[in-house]
Amino acid sequence: MITFRYRFNFINFTDYCMPTFLFDQTIFGPVNSRRLGISLGINLLPNDSKLCSFDCIYCECGWNPEKGTVKAILPARIEVKKMLREKLTEMKSSGELPDVITFAGNGEPTMHPAFAAIIDDTLLIRNELCPGARIAVLSNSTMLHKPAVVAALKKIDDNILKLDSGFVETIRILDQPVGRFDLQTVINNIKQFDGQLILQTMFIRGQFEDHTIDNTTEKELKAWIEVLQQIRPRLVMIYTIARDTPANDLQKVSTEELETIAERVVKETGLEVQVNG
């Protein structure tokens, strides 16, 4: 196991919390993902708390740990490798192999110090036991200043990177970055992949503290589409909330509205769009 300490600055959110959940295993599922198919999950974060460079107001895992210093225990590379091999061997024996092996879980997977090495292990095991399965990583794009993370993400099948707005002010409300966040730097880092990525955006409305939230307005969509034109991802994945969120007063965007947004993206950019209502 890997143990280290991390410190965040927090707002007191206790007055507006809703039920959320944490992944309590390193290897979890398989689950039927609305975006990816039959997915076997890998959680490189703690099994009893979040570890993330964002504190999204819509995160299904809830808020980052409470104010103070938290001891975070991460699974060691050798443990992940052993557990993944055992699980895929079991699934192969039962004839139920996954469509995709997905790095997700309780926070930002690329924060694990052995992330790049674990990706290499996963590729080897996948090629041996289930060569038809894709490997996906769900990332919030904040660790792309690390060359090893970028190199690892270039090796996988589905490099899924988050970008919820073309405005840093909106990202600060929706995603609550921990520490310094520069939007243009993140965009430039995403452009390192030369379009070989899936860009994922959460559309949402509601109230949070004294802010009115709606990243579907004309102003928001225009700025977001301009960013899409810069990045030119191979796929744009748009979705809305489907589970409980830690903040109250958040609302889903209808599937019909998401489809209208998708049609606009296709018309203005020619990019492929996947809608997950």
Number of domains in the chain: 1
Closest CA to 55 of 9, 92, 89, 21: 9
| Residues 239/276, Cβ–Cβ less than 8 Å | yes
- Report the candidate in 92, 105, 185, 188 with the shortest Cα–Cα distance to residue 131: 92
Retrieve residue 147's tokens: 């060359």
**Residue at token pair 């997915």:** 39
Whether the CB-CB separation of 176 and 56 falls below 8 Å is answered with yes
Q: Are 115 and 152 in contact (CB under 8 A)?
A: yes
What is the model's pTM? Answer: 0.89
Does a cis peptide bond (omega within 30 degrees of 0) precede residue 109? Answer: no
Angle CA 139–143–148, to nearest 5: 105
Residue pair 159/197 in contact (Cβ under 8 Å)? The answer is: yes
- Report the greatest alpha carbon distance in the chain: 54
Residue 195: which of 269, 106, 108 has the closest Cα?
269
Q: Do the beta carbons of residue 124 and residue 87 sit within 8 Å?
A: no
pLDDT for the residue numbered 14: 30
> Would you give per-residue pLDDT tens digits along the chain (277 residues)?
333 333 333 233 233 334 457 888 999 999 887 667 789 999 999 988 899 999 999 999 989 887 555 678 899 999 999 999 999 999 999 999 999 999 999 999 999 999 999 999 999 999 999 999 999 999 999 999 999 999 999 999 999 999 999 999 999 999 999 989 999 999 999 999 999 999 999 999 999 999 999 999 999 999 999 999 999 999 999 999 988 899 999 999 999 999 999 999 999 999 999 998 6
Q: Which domain holds residue 106?
A: 2-276
Q: Which residue has the tokens 């490189």?
A: 44
Tokens of 161: 């990177």
The CATH number of whichever domain residue 146 belongs to comes to 3.20.20.70
What lies within 8 Å, CB to CB, of 242 at 6+ separation is 34, 252
Q: Which residues pair with 159 in a beta bridge?
A: 137
